Chain A
Amino acid sequence: MMLTLALSCIAGLLALSVLAVASGRSPVTMRIVYGASLAASLVLLILATTHLLGAQAPASVTLPLGLPWVGAHFRIDVLGAFFLAVVDLGAAAASLFALGYGRHDQEPERVLPFYPLFLAGMNLVVLADDAFTFLVSWEFMSLTSWGLVIAHHRVSDNLRAGYVYLVMASLGTLTLLLAFGLLAGPEGNYTFAQIRDGHPSPAVGALVLILVLIGAGSKAGLVPLHAWLPLAHPAAPSHVSALMSGVMTKVAVYGFVRVVLDLLGPPMWWWSVVVLTLGGITCVMGVLYALMQNDLKRLLAYSTVENIGVIFIGLGLALAFKAYGMTAAAALALTAGLLHVFNHSVFKSLLFFGSGAVLTATGERDMERLGGLIHRMPQTAFVFLVGCAAISALPPLNGFISEWLTFQAILLSPELPSWGLKFLVPAVGALLAMSAALAAACFVKAFGVTFLGRPRTPAAEQAHEVDTLSLAAMFCLATICLAVGILPGLFMDALAPVADLLVGDRMPMQRGVEWLSIVPITDSRSSYNGLLVFVFTLLSGSLAAFAIHRLASDKLRRAPAWDCGYPDASPATQYTADSFAQPIRRVFGTLVFRAREHGDMPAPGDMRPARLVVDLRDLIWEALYAPAATAVTNVSERLNRLQFLTIRQYLSLVFGALITLLLVLAIWP
């Protein structure tokens, strides 16, 4: 019943796209499309939440679509319901934001048809219950989002971003196709139920893990498969960027979790080594890349890479604990990972909305051309600040909760019997701690350069606050950030059935703990109370303010900035995004990016100004992608010659191919 309703909502989204194509580019269409998307996502969100909170039994539906002898299987279980809730919360917020934001779109007819399709695709992936439906939905999601990435195709670089995205998405789908082929086996057991019963051999399991890591990892943005992400996510309109960064990467995480923790059966211990190593590298590399960016949306996209690393660390720990039968610890690690999935989808959507608001208000994405927006856009500035604090893992907001839980899971690692893991996990913990501190630096930069200081351009000076609907979407998400931060127990309890399903154990229920604290393992080991920390901080801050204003002085005088007595009238003397990142670039960048600074001094008599030039090299691109691209070009040039052969040569080629095939068949055992 519930599933039928969910599928009808998705069908409604598909129909909406037809409507959008038919009715063209009137503002009414815009309102209908986003309004209906909002309604459909809200219904789906409520369905998913009731399913998850009620821990209801799985329900399934088979539709006579797709492959004739398989059909299209759909199923909702608690894992699916959790990700459905994440997808539709993001979708609802994005639709609400777009109701206001979409008005500024120059070419809405390029966005509107794809938007509901993209939402439908993401929902279908989460509900699919056989390999065929999963892959078709996955590819559908990729292609519709590609359509959104190149919506503004006249902006330079967007077409290149779309091209890189298309190539990487095809690669991802290809590897997933191979993975499901291996799982289905020669008998063609395509439904997930059959795959679950199949118990693949260790070699097949390992191969599937690697293939899924490439397939789902490339979609999620695991380093070194992240290259498309910082190009494609910023290219799309901001509400779509929020969906791609906040939600679509989570659908990719869903794919990984579904295959590796559910379908593959009991994990091997070394799987976790691969996942943990990739997660650790991803989170530090992601945030270092993010720190080097001056484009606000690209910075946010790279920060998504970092957070995917954090999620994969949680999942890797869950795999490690599950492999050794430490189910309670595995439940903790899994809950940490999944809670970060939720948290990241919330604050990343919020931050992308904020960047969209800045883009509407000023027409600028480059932080070097912004500044001082807190005066002109106070409400956007406030919610953006909440998002920045949340993503920097600061208490009492939500990002801290999931990182804290991940640290608690890391601290259980000495009980693992494997020596390799005993040494690896603390090192990963150090990487996680470093990425958290660097993320704080990154978002001080993002907020400080964009919203604080003095305006660097007239565009920033004449900015204006955005419309109410956009603000409403952002305030809703900011409220969720705070709610999860001060009442984390409720959200952790909601995840208990998911942990039960995937690792066969659940964390202690947090609902009954006194004072709404969270106690992941035992009282004496660790506990945290977001509510009390929030209340104490609020109380002591207001107490101090009250006492000082009453008892000491509340006088205030405005004067020019002191700046140690140096009058600097020009806003150009402020610290820029580049100069803010300079110390970190010097410390980490010389190693990771081969960062070099050199002065570009004009010859005597030359009138151009001297410049300080910074060279950054993307070593991953140079080592991995550039050679692959060159190789593909070379091979295709060679193969191109095949088109210009004589008929004799073609005939001999056909004959040779036939002989080879017969030989293979003869030798094949």
Chain B
Amino acid sequence: MAVIFDFAVQGAQMLMVLLLAPLLTGLVRKVKARLLRRRGPPLIQPYRDLARLLRKEVVLADNASWLFRVIPYVVFAATWVAAALVPTFQSGLLFSWSADLIAIIALLGSARFFLALAGLDVGTSFGGIGSSREMMIASLAEPAMLMTVFTLALIAGSTQLSTVAAFMTSNEVGLRVSLGLALFALTMVAIAENARIPVDNPATHLELTMVHEAMVLEYSGRHLALIDLSSELKLLLYVSLIGCVFLPWGMAPSGASVQALAIGFAAYLVKLAIGAFLLAVFETAIAKMRVFRVPEFLGAALMLGLLATLFLFVSRSL
């Protein structure tokens, strides 16, 4: 009985991330529009876009290979599995041990690897520009991300997200310089990985510095819907991750009652809303940077991550 309940909760988490992801993107867009004194599209616009794209036929480039048609499903599956493995409203889910934080990052790495290949498949220059820049950004963002993982793992003694979250709610943690630096680094990586301003602009298709949108330029119809949904899932994943590690309050422990789950869910929604609001404010307040200034931005994140790890040995917790 308990196992069935655990299965149900895990399944609910998988469905929930899928259903909430477009809403999060819609919320960010809405808040950004309001901050610019526009009315903005309704919150459910991303769902409508997805539904419309799914119904449309795919227009495939003449020389696209089988790989090009498979990649949207691969990218979506990898991102979905990764997003479902990050604790949201409850930690210690049934399958949470099947991949730790390093594996989750690597899953996202798989998704990016294949997406970059898709950019090169049709053989247009826009796809290539997107792929090559995406891989350049990843070559700095991934080590920066792993350095934050090191910091967290060294503090919590685990790379398992559920253990880290449980440890962060306990009283042993306190305020630490390392944690602050790690939060900064993780946020910078999250911005870069999700192709947000100032690294990339999610709102445009035609700009010479674009990265992600250039890579997926040849996609249409259901393929494009899956790619869009994957990016939305990825944004949700990063917000959940920051929430789970740095704001673990309210998250239900494993084997909690239904009431605790409800509280955990409400807390999770609040965290998502806060994340969306802060992201929108940040994106409105800052200008897009040149693509070759991105390495400096991410290099700073990498240095912060490394410093966070090294400070662990010399600083004390407050």
Contact = CB atoms under 8 A, between A and B. Distances in A.
B33 interface: no
A511 interface: no
A198 interface: no
Interface in B137-160: 138-143, 146-147, 150, 153-154, 157-160
Given A426-B306, A532-B98, A544-B76, A394 B106 contact: yes
A563 interface: yes
A557 B103 CA distance: 37
A646 interface: no
Nearest to B112: A440
A434 B295 CA distance: 13
Contact of A540 (B61, B81, B126): B81
Contacts of B313: 414, 419, 422-423
A483 B76 CA distance: 23
Contacts of B58: 553, 555-557
Contact of A529 (B99, B113, B163): B99
Contacts of B76: 540-541, 544
A460 to B, nearest CB: 12
Contacts of A356: none
Contacts of A573: 124-125
A580 B313 CA distance: 40
A555 B122 CA distance: 19
B79 to A, nearest CB: 10
Interface in B95-121: 95, 97-100, 102-103, 106-107, 109-110, 112-113, 116-117, 119-121
A533 B99 contact: yes
Contacts of B124: 561-563, 568, 573-574
B270 interface: no
B132 A525 contact: no
A372 B74 CA distance: 21
Nearest to A440: B113
A432 B63 CA distance: 37
A553 B98 CA distance: 33
Contacts of B244: none
Given A453-B123, A557-B58, A564 B158 contact: no
B30 interface: no
B158 A537 contact: no
A528 B117 contact: no
A552 B131 contact: no
A429 B205 CA distance: 37
A563 B125 contact: yes
Interface string A512-555: 00010100000111111100110011111110110010001101
A538 B76 CA distance: 11
Q: Which of B60, B122, B136, B226 has the most C-beta atoms of chain A within 10 angstroms of its own C-beta?
A: B136
B306 A526 contact: no
A541 B73 contact: yes
Contact of B62 (A434, A553, A555, A558): A558
B67 interface: yes
A482 B186 CA distance: 31
Given A426-B310, A552-B222, A553-B54, A564 B132 contact: no
A260 B298 CA distance: 39
Nearest to B101: A526
Contacts of B56: 553
A580 B131 contact: yes
B206 A528 contact: no
A438 interface: yes
A522 B103 CA distance: 17
A263 interface: no
A539 B67 CA distance: 18
Nearest to A539: B77
B63 A555 contact: no
Contacts of A426: 147, 150, 306, 309-310
Contacts of B9: none
Contact of B120 (A429, A437, A444): A444
A3 interface: no
Contacts of A473: none
Given A434-B143, A441-B139, A582-B132, A528 B103 contact: yes
Interface of B: 54-63, 65-67, 73-74, 76-78, 80-81, 95, 97-100, 102-103, 106-107, 109-110, 112-113, 116-117, 119-129, 131-133, 135-136, 138-143, 146-147, 150, 153-154, 157-160, 163, 205-206, 217-218, 220-222, 225-226, 291-292, 295, 302, 305-306, 309-310, 312-313
7 contacts: A429-B146, A526-B100, A536-B98, A537-B81, A544-B77, A563-B122, A580-B135
Given A437-B142, A558-B60, 13 more contacts: A372-B123, A374-B66, A375-B65, A392-B109, A395-B107, A426-B306, A430-B147, A527-B160, A533-B99, A553-B55, A573-B125, A574-B128, A587-B292
